[in-house]
A and B are shown apart, each in its own frame.
Chain A
Amino acid sequence: MSGKPKFAMYWAASCGGCEIAVLNTNEKILDVDANFDVVFWPVAMDAKYKDVEAMEDGSILLTLFNGGIRTDENEHIAKLLRQKSKILVAFGSCANEGCVPGLANFSSIKDMVDTAYSTVSTDNPTGIRPVTAYDMPEGTIRLPALSPILKTLDQVVDVDYYMPGCPPESHQIAAVIDLVIQVLQGKAELPPKGSVIGAGNSTVCDECKRTRNVKTITSFKRIFGQELDPELCLLEQGIPCNGIATRSGCNARCPSAGAQCIGCYGPAEGVVDYGARLISAFASVIDAKEPDEIDHILDGIPDPAGQFYRFNLAGSLLRANKSAWEKEKA
Chain B
Amino acid sequence: MTDKFEPTIIGFTCNWCSYRAADLAGTARIKYPPNVRLVRLMCSGRLDPTFVFKALSSGADGVIITGCHPGECHYLEQNYKALRRFQLMRRTLVGLGLEPGRVKLVWASAAEGARFASEINIFVEEIRALGPLHWGIPSDLLPVPNEPLEEVPA
What is the number of residues of chain A that contact chain B, defined by CB distance less than 8 Å?
Answer: 37
Partner of B87, one of A280, A291, A306, A320: A291
Within 8 A of B (CB), among A25-50: none
How many angstroms between the C-alpha atoms of A321 and B95 in the bound complex? 8
Q: Is B143 an interface residue (CB 8 A)?
A: no
Establish whether residues B49 and A280, one from each chain, have CB atoms under 8 Å apart when the complex forms: yes
Known contacts: A304-B91, A318-B57. The answer to whether A284 contacts B49 by CB under 8 A is no
- How far apart are A58's CB and chain B's nearest CB, in angstroms? 31
Which residue of chain B is the closest to A289 with respect to CB atoms? B80
How many angstroms between the C-alpha atoms of A283 and B54 in the bound complex? 19
Which residue of chain A is the closest to B52 with respect to CB atoms? A276
Among B50, B54, B92, max chain A CB count under 10 A is at B92
Cβ of A286: which chain B residues have Cβ within 8 Å of it? Answer: 84
Cβ of B57: which chain A residues have Cβ within 8 Å of it? Answer: 317-319
Establish whether residues B50 and A317, one from each chain, have CB atoms under 8 Å apart when the complex forms: yes
How many angstroms between the C-alpha atoms of A276 and B53 in the bound complex? 8
Cβ of A301: which chain B residues have Cβ within 8 Å of it? Answer: 88, 91
* Contact stretch, chosen from A59-67, A116-124, A171-179, A322-330: A322-330
Q: Is B69 an interface residue (CB 8 A)?
A: no
Q: Is A215 an interface residue (CB 8 A)?
A: no
Partner of B92, one of A149, A304, A323, A326: A304
Q: Is B98 an interface residue (CB 8 A)?
A: yes
Residues of A within 8 A of B (CB): 149, 272-273, 275-277, 279-280, 282-284, 286, 288-289, 291, 294-295, 298, 301, 303-306, 308-309, 316-326, 329
Known contacts: A318-B96, A321-B96. The answer to whether A288 contacts B84 by CB under 8 A is yes
What is the number of residues of chain B that contact chain A, defined by CB distance less than 8 Å?
Answer: 29
Known contacts: A276-B53, A283-B85. The answer to whether A308 contacts B92 by CB under 8 A is yes
Q: Is B138 an interface residue (CB 8 A)?
A: yes
Establish whether residues A294 and B84, one from each chain, have CB atoms under 8 Å apart when the complex forms: yes
Q: How many A-B residue pairs have CB under 8 A?
A: 97
How many angstroms between the C-alpha atoms of A291 and B107 in the bound complex? 13
Partner of A325, one of B48, B52, B54, B136: B136
The contact sample of 21 A-B pairs, CB cut-off 8 A, is: A273-B50, A273-B53, A276-B48, A276-B50, A279-B88, A283-B84, A283-B89, A284-B85, A291-B83, A291-B87, A294-B83, A301-B88, A304-B91, A304-B92, A305-B95, A305-B96, A318-B96, A321-B96, A322-B96, A322-B98, A329-B139
- How far apart are B61's CB and chain A's nearest CB, in angstroms? 13
Cβ of A282: which chain B residues have Cβ within 8 Å of it? Answer: 88
How many angstroms between the C-alpha atoms of A306 and B85 in the bound complex? 17
Q: Is B5 an interface residue (CB 8 A)?
A: no
8 nearest A-B residue pairs (beta carbon): A305-B95, A322-B97, A283-B84, A276-B49, A276-B50, A283-B85, A321-B97, A317-B53
- How far apart are B75's CB and chain A's nearest CB, in angstroms? 13
Question: Which DSSP category, helix, strand, loop or mixed, fits chain B's interface?
Answer: helix
- How far apart are B132's CB and chain A's nearest CB, in angstroms? 11
Other than the given A280-B85, A301-B88, A318-B96, 4 more pairs (CB < 8 A) read A276-B89, A279-B89, A305-B92, A320-B96
Which residue of chain B is the closest to A328 with respect to CB atoms? B138
- How far apart are B10's CB and chain A's nearest CB, in angstroms? 14
How many angstroms between the C-alpha atoms of A37 and B148 in the bound complex? 61
Cβ of B135: which chain A residues have Cβ within 8 Å of it? Answer: 318, 322
- How far apart are B143's CB and chain A's nearest CB, in angstroms? 15
- How far apart are B91's CB and chain A's nearest CB, in angstroms? 5
How many angstroms between the C-alpha atoms of A276 and B98 in the bound complex? 15
How many angstroms between the C-alpha atoms of A295 and B88 in the bound complex? 8
Which residue of chain B is the closest to A272 with respect to CB atoms? B50
Which residue of chain A is the closest to B140 with respect to CB atoms? A329
Known contacts: A289-B70, A322-B135. The answer to whether A283 contacts B81 by CB under 8 A is yes
How many angstroms between the C-alpha atoms of A321 and B136 in the bound complex? 9
Q: Is B9 an interface residue (CB 8 A)?
A: no
Cβ of B84: which chain A residues have Cβ within 8 Å of it? Answer: 283-284, 286, 288, 294
Known contacts: A298-B87, A304-B91, A308-B92. The answer to whether A277 contacts B50 by CB under 8 A is yes
Cβ of B94: which chain A residues have Cβ within 8 Å of it? Answer: 305
Per-residue CB contact flags for chain B residues 92-107 toward chain A (1 = under 8 Å, else 0) read 1011111000000000
Known contacts: A276-B49, A279-B49. The answer to whether A317 contacts B54 by CB under 8 A is yes
Establish whether residues B98 and A294, one from each chain, have CB atoms under 8 Å apart when the complex forms: no
- How far apart are A87's CB and chain B's nearest CB, in angstroms? 30
Known contacts: A305-B96, A318-B135, A321-B96. The answer to whether A283 contacts B87 by CB under 8 A is yes
